[in-house]
Every structure is written in C-alpha cells, then in structure tokens.
Amino acid sequence: MFSSTRAIFFDLDGTLVNTIPLIFAAYEHTLGEHLPGFRPPRQVIVGNLGRSLNAILRDYAVAAGVTDPDAVGDAMIETYRAFQRVNLERLIQPYDGMSEALAELRDRGYLLGLVTSKVEWAARMSYDRYGLGQYLSVSVFHDETTRHKPDPAPLLLAATKAGVRPEQTAYVGDSVHDMAAGKAAGMRTIGALWGPFEAVELNEAGADILARTPDSLPALLPGLELG
C-alpha cells in the first residue's frame, strides 16, 4: 500500500505536538469573552479539530445567534490568538517518541513535511519548542491557501512544494478532517490514535492504516522503508 511513498506529511495539533489542552483553554477563554453562556459540548470542539479556526469561530458565533457573526468571529480570532501567544509554552506537551520517529523516517530518506490549519507563528512555536522543525523540509500553514482541510488544497500545495505526486505521499493526522483531506488529495492516510479521535471515527473517515503511538510509526509501516 505504501511502497511508492516518498514523502510523509504530518498534521500539527494532536499529531506532532499535544496542543489539545491549549486549544480547550483558548476556546474557554475566547467564548467566555465574546459569547458568554455559549458552551459547545466537548465532542463538538473535538469534532472541529483540523478545520480552519476562522471557520470554527464564525460557526460558533452563528450558533450563538449574534447579529454580526463575521465581526464577532474576527474579534474572537484576535482574542484566541492573543491567549495562545501568552499561554502556548505553558499548556502544550510533547508526544513521547515523536522526535525519534521523525529522525528514523528522515534517515531512511523520506522527505518530511507539515500541513496544518494553524497560522505560521503558532505552528512554529509549537514544533520548535520540542526541536521538531529540524526534520521538516516542507511546511504549509493556514494563510497559504484560501481553502482549508477537509479540502485537499493545503495538502496538494505541500506536494507541489515537495516536488512529489500526491500518490507518492502519506498524510499522518489525528482528525477525521485530516483523513478526508488526505483521501481527497489522492494520498495515503495514517490515523494517529494518540490524538482525541477514536479509531472507528478515523476508519470511517478513510484512514488506510492506524498508528497507536508515534514511536510505532516506523515499525508499523515497514513498507514505507525505501529500498
């Protein structure tokens, strides 16, 4: 299944770095400031992970019934990102084995990259805190495309940057939107079970294979090894 793979792209939130505590804290702070009394259930917030933050916050403004959801959404973006900037280093956590897995895959000759719905400064702060940027040859951040996951546009841009065809690429992500984007792009998809989504959800969204831990990636996928 993965014998023709030459590049492996990774999602960030819940995949490369455990930013989930930060995300929930930022939502709680932002919604409390702008939409007091509106609290989407945890499963709704989890279900949106992987989508563009701009679209998510506008959806919440619509659901809360505000008169100008675009303006409120824009204001929430500013509040959310200001909170992230101050609290990012305090609230994010590394995933055990991720650095070692990336090093092994890179040493086998793979081109490794990042495709994330996060803006560039927040993404770089997240992965550079744990030294993961050294492994990433290609990156696509939120503002580089007008369409976002689950649309395949960001993944296709990454393939273009890397000089590989989509069918030569695998995408590793923890959310159903990652799996949908990867399939729509014509890539192989690897569901990361160390994120907040369940195996059945990732399988239903089109995961070709599931990885239980970061350090299981190289051993789990021997077909990825270049001959």
Question: Residues with catalytic annotation?
Answer: 11
In contact, 9 and 138? CB cutoff 8 Å: yes
Residue for token digits 């560039």? 120
Separation between Cα atoms, residue 223 and residue 4, nearest integer Å: 9
In contact, 189 and 163? CB cutoff 8 Å: no
The DSSP secondary structure of 74-136, one letter per residue, reads: HHHHHHHHHHHHHHHHHH-EEPTTHHHHHHHHHHTT-EEEEE-SS-HHHHHHHHHTTT-GGG-
